[in-house]
Amino acid sequence: MDVLILIHSFAAEGCPQLALLLCRHWERHGIRPVLVLLESEPQDLRSEFEALSMPVCTLALGQGQGRYPRLIWQIFRLCRRHRPAAVLSFPLGWHACIAWGAKLSGVKRVCAHVGNLPPVWTGHAFGKFKALVQLGRPVTHRLLCCSDYIRDATVRDFGVRPTETVAIYNACDLEAFASLKRLPHAHHHPRLGMVARLEQHKDQPTLIRAVTLLRQRGVDVEVWLIGEGSQRLALERLIAELELADRVKLLGSRRDIPKLLNQLDLFVFAAKPDEGFGIALAEAMAVGLPIVATDVGACREVLEDGLLGRLVPPGDPAALAAGIREVLADPLAAGRCAERARVRALRDFSVEAMAQAYGRELGLSVA
């Protein structure tokens, strides 16, 4: 049984990582994924995908409005060749063309992942986005939202019915993260970390500015920013401007995330309101790290309204610095909170649970 899975690229970010987890799980259970990329760059996760036995192909869509009919046609041809039982699209918006191509070829079920808040603030651009979602409605079985927060916004802002959506939490590789034994550290300064792409929709600048405020209050910390992206140069300039080169390190894209998280004293997740879930947040929870995160919808849901981690207002370096200072000052309370978070991660964020839920919506038989 084949399932066609579409991602933008091999970038080391949320959707390709989820696709990789699903492919690994489904291959072990007799389902053969066929991976399709819309873009050839970046290629961060290429080796991980190529280690699997599935076919991988990259579409040639070109530029301009002609991309849309070309996408429909190329998906139609791929589906006629592979005869998949279902199609899963991680790109939203593009999924409308993908769904029409798949349905015209005879595929019975097409689902699309929704991982971010509908960008209503973009005005005309959102109007086009919403039109694509509406175009895909007749041929899309379900929109798979990564949290209840995103599901509610999808129904409200895209104008779809609740029955067209379902909330399925993103997953992390619990075997890699939860099996680590947390050991006491003897760092000269508390070591903080954040794992996220260096892109505008993340908020590393607020964390960097919080480090300066902490230093002014006599709290010296070291920060690891793990990830790569288009904002690296801007972040380097900000670090230099604030004279924090000895305290804030850009570690780039890494494959040893479990090991790095196990060397931290505190995980910080500076997110913006359009954050949909935060796989890195779930990974830190699975490791058992104390967490300070910004109080946006997704983080509030994952951290159960602050029961599992300290929540602070978004985009506020002073509030973030205060939250970090408070958590570091009470390690016993932070440890109890982290253990509750670990229990939730093990219960709710497993690959098996996600793969089975996706399989049900796609009509796949997943043992």
Amino acid, res. 194: M
Amino acid, res. 28: R
DSSP H helices in 268-367? 279-287, 297-302, 317-329, 331-348, 351-362
pTM of the model: 0.87
Written as six digits, the tokens of 121 are 């603030």
271 beta partners: 202
pLDDT digits (tens, 9 = 90+) for 55-100: 999 999 988 889 999 999 999 999 999 999 999 999 999 999 999 9
Question: What span, in angstroms and rounded, lies between the C-alpha atoms of 341 and 323?
Answer: 17
Confidence (pLDDT) at 255: 84
pLDDT digits (tens, 9 = 90+) for 14-66: 899 999 999 999 999 999 999 999 998 888 889 999 999 899 999 999 888 89
pLDDT < 70 regions, the chain: 182-187, 366-367
**β-bridge pairing 222-226 and 248-252:** parallel
Cα R_g (the chain), whole angstroms: 21
Strands (DSSP E) found in the chain: 2-7, 32-37, 56-58, 86-89, 109-114, 142-145, 165-167, 191-195, 222-226, 248-252, 266-269, 291-294, 310-312
The 10 Å Cβ neighbour count of residue 72 is 19
Confidence (pLDDT) at 351: 92
Backbone φ/ψ region at 363: left (φ over 0), alpha (ψ -120 to 50), beta: left
pLDDT digits (tens, 9 = 90+) for 198-209: 988 899 999 999
CATH number at 2-171+350-362: 3.40.50.2000
Confidence (pLDDT) at 367: 56
Q: Where in the chain are all domains bearing CATH 3.40.50.2000?
A: 2-171+350-362, 175-348
**β-bridge pairing 191-195 and 266-269:** parallel
**Element of type H or E holding 79:** helix 67-82
Question: With DSSP H G I counted as helix, E B as strand and the rest as coil, what are the percentages for the chain, rounded to 5?
Answer: 45, 15, 35
292, 338 Cβ separation under 8 angstroms: no
| Residue of 40, 35, 38, 9 whose CA lies nearest to 24 | 35
Which residue reads 């991602």 in tokens? 7
Tell me the CATH number of domain 175-348, given options 3.40.50.2000, 3.40.50.150, 2.70.98.60, 3.60.20.10: 3.40.50.2000
Each as own residue / partner, the long-range contacts of residues 70-75 (CB below 8 Å, 24 or more positions apart, any chain) are 71/38, 71/97, 71/98, 71/101, 72/97, 72/98, 72/100, 72/101, 72/104, 73/101, 74/101, 75/4, 75/36, 75/101, 75/102, 75/105
Written as six digits, the tokens of 233 are 């140069």
